[in-house]
Chains A and B, each alone.
Chain A
Amino acid sequence: MEFGWSEAEQAHRERVRGVLARELPADWETIAVHGPGSDAQTEYSRHFCKVLADEGLLIPHWPADHGGEDLDVWRQFILGEEVWAAGEPRGPQYMNVNWVGPVLMRYGTQGQLERHLPPIRAGDAIWCQGFSEPSAGSDLAALRTSAVPADGGYRVTGAKIWTSYAGQADTCFLLARIPPRDGGSEGKAGIVILLTDMTSPGIQVKRIPALIGEGDIHEVFFDDVFVPDTDRLGAEGQAWEIINFALQNERVGIPRYEFSRRTLDRAVASLKTSGRWRDPVVRDRAARALMECEAARMLVYKVIDGKAQNRPPDAFGAVARGAVVRADNSVNNFMTEFLPEGLLGADPLQQAHHQRAIAAGIASGAAEIQLNIAAQRWLQLPRELRR
């Protein structure tokens, strides 16, 4: 057991920092404030991800067979820490390299690989995740968007909600259900995954104005949209396995604590300048936010270490998620109390952090569901009786 970084890992981090320092424009903070799904940041991601690709830093953790360098998961995470802490100039494309690509590699057909991987590798693909519905959020298995088998494919009808990046996406990783009356199974077994072309006739995207940033969440309506068989990922009945694989580490996949830690460092620098740092209460509260960040870091590192050691996934990620949410909110609350001016126009990055933090316990599934999972699968507590 040891808690340091190897020389190669440190060099990797420095390299990423060098690219960020060189590439991010002077007005980056005013772009980043709008969030990864905003028009400005999405557009910028197309430039930045191409640069990362040219530098060999977009997908170094992918297998060499698919254009990567077989680097370990720590290198992927170091990259993630640096770019997320910088405000995520990869925009929505972080999702492609973290899990969309790897899921396709595992479950996709040759045709799907040939179609979807090259634009991801080039840093020029925007995906959205068509999971949540008006009556199926954390309870994903309750989704009702229908995929009725038709000649050569499926006809999709329904609505998705809270869909990040949908306004800019080329492709939707869409979950839909084959209705039982059309031969689908009940429950999770009836779900299919359709890699849906967002330019297909019958798709309508509506942006939802929100506190968490421009373009981050949408409603997506599917009105008898045809999706060919060739765009179904995996077999019918295999979707739940694929979703679990995809989400395995997504809930701690974003190194939120790193952005929180660096935002806290900035906040302290600001408080020192204004003289408020002399107040022992302020120092106490800052340290309590700091320790939440570091606790989250440790637990997330333990999850990443499990991947690095090829251990089968367990429910510890659900325990770590709680620490991550707490860290984000702890820093956010500290700054909102002691640096309210940051949310009154003085600090775009603080506002960006605020907008990420208030969604931390909701995005990628409610944190309370993770508590249920951890209770039953980590602590082995008896299941709650279902009526």
Chain B
Amino acid sequence: MNFELTEDQRAILGGLDQLIASFGIEAPKEPCVAAFSTELDTVLASDGFLGIAQEDGFGPLEAAMMVERLARLPVSVEAGASMLVGPALGLDPAARPIALVAGDGTAPARFLPMARLLLVDRGDHVLAVTVDPEQVEPVETLFAYPYGRLRSLDGLETRRIDDIATLRRRWRVAIAAEAAGCMQGALDLVVDHVTTRQAFGRPLGSFQALQHRLVVASESTESTKYLALRAAWSDSEMDAAIAAAFAQDRIPQLTYDFHQFSGAMGLTLEFPLHLWTYRLRALLGELGGSGDQARAAAEAAWPCVA
């Protein structure tokens, strides 16, 4: 047991931070619902960051660390599926961004407008669909990700992958890691806001009613992060389901509190809180939501013997 980063882990995260700093990323000046950074997404891939988990000495733990770190940004990039899901299914690393969806493949999916590959959870297998942009229609939503849906799978190149368990396990890790980063990004913004915003002649953050709930939010954030990292490290069904169930379980209270503490400002597009909270709210229902992850966790922890 060791929570310290290794030198190599420190180096890759330091490199990622430098890259992010070189972009000077901040929340968009113009009001927008979702902010996807094509530039950052492209450079992350071309500079090899997204493939780092396949390098010697690295693996899903480092991938999850990077997904978490990237999700703290006010802009989104597609990292979770590319770093955690694709490699585990042996997919071509160049075939990205990757979108994930459950059902028949035509439901709205995050990142589909720019995805090259769509992985569909078909219940008992995975369907890998090579995306034809002509077949994608954008979906308007409050969720702070680019969403799209396929009009139809007709005529698209598809491949069946039997390993549905790996798709779900890694998808759960990705949900938890991305949620942890979004929680941290939102928490930092809200702590800053309540520290500087004055009401009744004192900072909002000096009121105990807010302080206690913000500490609980911090506890949720830290727990989500370490459960996600442990799940990436162990790559076990149980740890992955626990991490995703926990993340999704905590999202409603945490997002409510963050908006509440931001007042009416938090309901505007000018204040960037939604760029994190509406990613969290998108993640809340992913892969069946916390109930599905909870039952998966129960089955993994206490399997029913037929």
Interface residues of A (CB under 8 A from B): 1-5, 9, 74, 265, 268-269, 272, 277, 280, 283-284, 286-288, 290-291, 294-296, 298-299, 301-302, 304-306, 308-309, 316, 318-320, 322-323, 368, 371-372, 374-376, 378-385
Q: Which residue of A lies closest to B213 (CB)?
A: A371
A309 touches B227 (CB 8 A): no
Cα distance, A283 to B297, chains bound together (Å): 9
B2 touches A290 (CB 8 A): no
A384 touches B2 (CB 8 A): no
Cα distance, A284 to B289, chains bound together (Å): 12
Other-chain residue from B6, B207, B210, B242 in contact with A290 (beta carbon distance below 8 A): B242
Q: In the complex, which residues of chain A have a beta carbon less than 8 angstroms from the beta carbon of B249?
A: 288, 291
A284 touches B295 (CB 8 A): yes
Q: In the complex, which residues of chain B have a beta carbon less than 8 angstroms from the beta carbon of A319?
A: 215, 218-219, 222
In the complex, the 4 A-B pairs of residues with the closest C-beta atoms, listed nearest first: A375-B211, A295-B223, A287-B294, A298-B226
Closest beta carbon of chain A to B206's beta carbon, Å: 4
Residue-wise, chain B 219-248 has the 8 Å CB interface mask toward A (1 for contact) of 100110011011001100001011001100
Q: List 21 A-B contacts (CB under 8 A).
A: A1-B61, A2-B2, A3-B230, A3-B233, A3-B234, A74-B1, A284-B294, A284-B298, A286-B298, A287-B295, A288-B249, A291-B297, A294-B246, A301-B3, A305-B3, A309-B3, A316-B222, A371-B211, A378-B218, A381-B210, A381-B211
Q: In the complex, which residues of chain B have a beta carbon less than 8 angstroms from the beta carbon of A322?
A: 215-216, 219
A305 touches B212 (CB 8 A): no
Q: In the complex, which residues of chain A have a beta carbon less than 8 angstroms from the beta carbon of B202?
A: 382, 385
Residue-wise, chain B 270-306 has the 8 Å CB interface mask toward A (1 for contact) of 0000000000000000000001011101110110100
B268 within 8 A of A: no
B214 touches A375 (CB 8 A): yes
Other-chain residue from A286, A305, A320 in contact with B1 (beta carbon distance below 8 A): A305
A288 touches B212 (CB 8 A): no
The CB with the most chain B CB atoms within 10 A, among A9, A74, A291, A379, is that of A291
A272 touches B191 (CB 8 A): no
A378 touches B215 (CB 8 A): yes
Q: How big is chain B's contact interface, by range?
A: 35 or more
Closest beta carbon of chain A to B284's beta carbon, Å: 15
Closest beta carbon of chain A to B26's beta carbon, Å: 22
B54 within 8 A of A: no
Interface of A is mostly: helix
Q: In the complex, which residues of chain B have a beta carbon less than 8 angstroms from the beta carbon of A323?
A: 219, 223
Closest beta carbon of chain B to A361's beta carbon, Å: 13
Cα distance, A287 to B234, chains bound together (Å): 19
Other-chain residue from A280, A371, A385 in contact with B212 (beta carbon distance below 8 A): A371
B246 touches A291 (CB 8 A): yes
B211 touches A309 (CB 8 A): no
A302 touches B242 (CB 8 A): no
Q: In the complex, which residues of chain B have a beta carbon less than 8 angstroms from the beta carbon of A74?
A: 1
Q: Which residue of A lies closest to B246 (CB)?
A: A291
Q: In the complex, which residues of chain A have a beta carbon less than 8 angstroms from the beta carbon of B295?
A: 280, 283-284, 287
Cα distance, A277 to B218, chains bound together (Å): 33
Cα distance, A374 to B5, chains bound together (Å): 24
B102 within 8 A of A: no
Closest beta carbon of chain B to A383's beta carbon, Å: 6
Q: In the complex, which residues of chain B have a beta carbon less than 8 angstroms from the beta carbon of A268?
A: 301-302
B4 within 8 A of A: yes
Cα distance, A302 to B206, chains bound together (Å): 27
B44 within 8 A of A: no
B16 within 8 A of A: no
B298 touches A287 (CB 8 A): yes
B294 touches A272 (CB 8 A): no
Q: In the complex, which residues of chain B have a beta carbon less than 8 angstroms from the beta carbon of A316?
A: 222
A302 touches B226 (CB 8 A): yes
Other-chain residue from B205, B233, B239 in contact with A2 (beta carbon distance below 8 A): B233
Q: In the complex, which residues of chain B have a beta carbon less than 8 angstroms from the beta carbon of A304?
A: 1
Cα distance, A4 to B212, chains bound together (Å): 32
A299 touches B226 (CB 8 A): yes
A384 touches B294 (CB 8 A): no
B194 within 8 A of A: yes
B211 touches A372 (CB 8 A): yes
B260 within 8 A of A: no
Q: In the complex, which residues of chain B have a beta carbon less than 8 angstroms from the beta carbon of A290?
A: 242, 297-298, 301
B203 within 8 A of A: yes
Q: In the complex, which residues of chain A have a beta carbon less than 8 angstroms from the beta carbon of B6?
A: 1
B262 within 8 A of A: no
Q: In the complex, which residues of chain A have a beta carbon less than 8 angstroms from the beta carbon of B22?
A: none
Q: Which residue of B lies closest to A381 (CB)?
A: B205
Q: In the complex, which residues of chain B have a beta carbon less than 8 angstroms from the beta carbon of A298?
A: 222-223, 226-227, 230
Q: Which residue of B lies closest to A322 (CB)?
A: B219
The CB with the most chain A CB atoms within 10 A, among B1, B4, B202, B299, is that of B1
| Docked complex: B53-76 residues within 8 A CB-CB of A | 61, 65
A287 touches B301 (CB 8 A): yes
B195 within 8 A of A: yes
Cα distance, A319 to B225, chains bound together (Å): 14
Q: In the complex, which residues of chain A have a beta carbon less than 8 angstroms from the beta carbon of B207?
A: 384
Q: Which residue of B lies closest to A318 (CB)?
A: B215
Closest beta carbon of chain A to B40's beta carbon, Å: 25
Task: Add 13 more A-B contacts to A1-B6, A283-B298, A378-B218 (CB < 8 A).
Answer: A1-B2, A1-B3, A1-B9, A1-B233, A9-B1, A74-B1, A287-B297, A301-B3, A305-B2, A371-B215, A379-B218, A381-B210, A381-B214
Closest beta carbon of chain B to A384's beta carbon, Å: 5
Q: In the complex, which residues of chain A have a beta carbon less than 8 angstroms from the beta carbon of B302?
A: 265, 268-269, 272, 277, 286
Other-chain residue from A302, A318, A382 in contact with B203 (beta carbon distance below 8 A): A382
Contacts A4-B1, A302-B222; is A291 near B242 (CB within 8 Å)? Answer: yes
